Amino acid sequence: MTTYTFAKEFYASRGIDTEAAIKRAAEIPLSIHAWQGDDVTGFERVGTLDGGLAATGNYPGKARNAEELRADIDQAFTLIPGPKRLSLHAFYAETHGKKIPRDELTSEHFANWIAWAKANKSALDYNASFFAHPLAADGLTLSHPEPKTRDFWIRHGVMSRRIANDFGKAAGSPSVINFWMPDGMKDTPFDRVTPRQRLMDALDQCFAEKLPSVLDAVECKLFGVGLESFTVGSHEFYMGYASSRQKLLCLDVGHFHPTETLADKIPSVLPFVPGVLLHLSRGVRWDSDHVVTLTDDLFATMDQALNCAPGRVYLALDYFDASINRIAAWAIGARNVRKAMLAAFLQPRVLLAKAEEAFDYSSRLALQEEAKTYPLLAVWDEACRRESTPLDGEWMPVVKQYEKTELSKRK
């Protein structure tokens, strides 16, 4: 008897169909973030990382150009089962040495990415880049009091949506575009209303054009380095904006207090917005972007994301760790997310529902605890085999070999 045969029979005894779980998990795309591969620097070379962001470490082998970044993503994709999308920022445009302002970028500057996506039978998501730019150096963009600066960022937002729309048309699948800006202040401002009014008006201008192949998302933030006391785009602000404008609400795991549970937020906000974009990272003590690990919170988040509103939650990675091998970081985080996705479909849902409906909370708790040690790994291994993806224990040597043959050449 193989380990999967045993696991299949074990789960069946509890009313769980492992074949159905593998099939369902294999149908859900995960958007992989390009910025893990180059420490969120892009190819513009116009500014340093700012706006409350920080990538720590200097592990050898960072991608220095688009060709290297695509090669690294190709390698990472071979280690991750399931359908994959790629999420880009505006500063991954390829301008061939020309200085193109962000408010003048078009999809022509992403032609190589579009071709790459087609060759990989993938799709592209997009992020407007409101940071790491001279006009964002003071921590304000769409809420900036200076009209000239604010208008630049509005134009950037407009052009970003058009680029995302072209991505969606090329792939035959809507492109999710995320709007996050670092706008805030280090100390407490006297006027906390006017900046939010400016942000609301600027966003309305960015979203004014109706584009059929775009799904718009807005992302809240807790705070950033140097912007600790006031965040214009707070959770409350974007809850109101997303619900009133019917946009996707982006919830980033690292943008909340460590004691908050993101899983509880998903069913709470879904009655009011058309959908949720999840940026999966790991906050450690403060607003930070660590590699996703297989925690109880991740299991709970995937359970709520996939079972309480199928098709209305979009999954994406968002972290950057330059202290470890960047391809390993992609693989570790993505594989953990996909394991948690599979686990969400392997819960004894029928038994749990019966216990809850009968007010038998003792049995419910017992089932929830027992499910934590169900033979998930055997089903996970089988899912990886079916997609010709390395099993746990097999993929890291692939990364080490790639580091030896490719990454070690980059100085």
Closest to 351 in 3D by CA, of 334, 365, 337: 365
CA–CA distance, 379 with 157 (Å, rounded to integer): 43
Q: Please list, in sequence order, all residues whose beta carbon lies within 8 angstroms of the beta carbon of residue 137, skipping any fewer than 6 positions away.
A: 47, 50
318 is known as an active-site residue: yes
Catalytic residue from among 144, 221, 247, 265: 221
279 is known as an active-site residue: yes
219 is known as an active-site residue: yes
CA–CA distance, 347 with 364 (Å, rounded to integer): 12
Structure-model confidence comparison of residues 224 and 410, the more confident one = 410
- Mean pLDDT confidence for 2-31: 97
Please give the sequence-ordered ranges of beta strands (E in DSSP) within 21-144, or none if there are none: 30-33, 84-89, 124-127
287 is known as an active-site residue: yes
CA–CA distance, 391 with 395 (Å, rounded to integer): 6
Terminal-to-terminal C-alpha distance of the chain: 50
CA–CA distance, 93 with 113 (Å, rounded to integer): 9
CA–CA distance, 177 with 181 (Å, rounded to integer): 13
CA–CA distance, 265 with 51 (Å, rounded to integer): 26
133 is known as an active-site residue: no
Q: Is the pLDDT of residue 241 over 70?
A: yes
Catalytic residue from among 39, 125, 216, 287: 287
Catalytic residue from among 39, 44, 289, 297: 289
116 is known as an active-site residue: no
Catalytic residue from among 166, 216, 303, 318: 318
Residues 170-186: tens digit of each pLDDT: 999 999 999 999 999 99
252 is known as an active-site residue: yes
Q: Enumerate domains of the chain plus CATH numbers.
A: 28-345 (3.20.20.150)
pTM of the model: 0.95
Lowest mean pLDDT among 142-156, 227-241, 283-297, 358-372: 283-297
Catalytic residue from among 62, 84, 247, 255: 255
78 in Cβ contact with 91 (< 8 Å): no
- Measured in whole angstroms, the distance separating CA 178 from the mean position of its chain's CA atoms is 10
CA–CA distance, 59 with 329 (Å, rounded to integer): 11
38 is known as an active-site residue: no
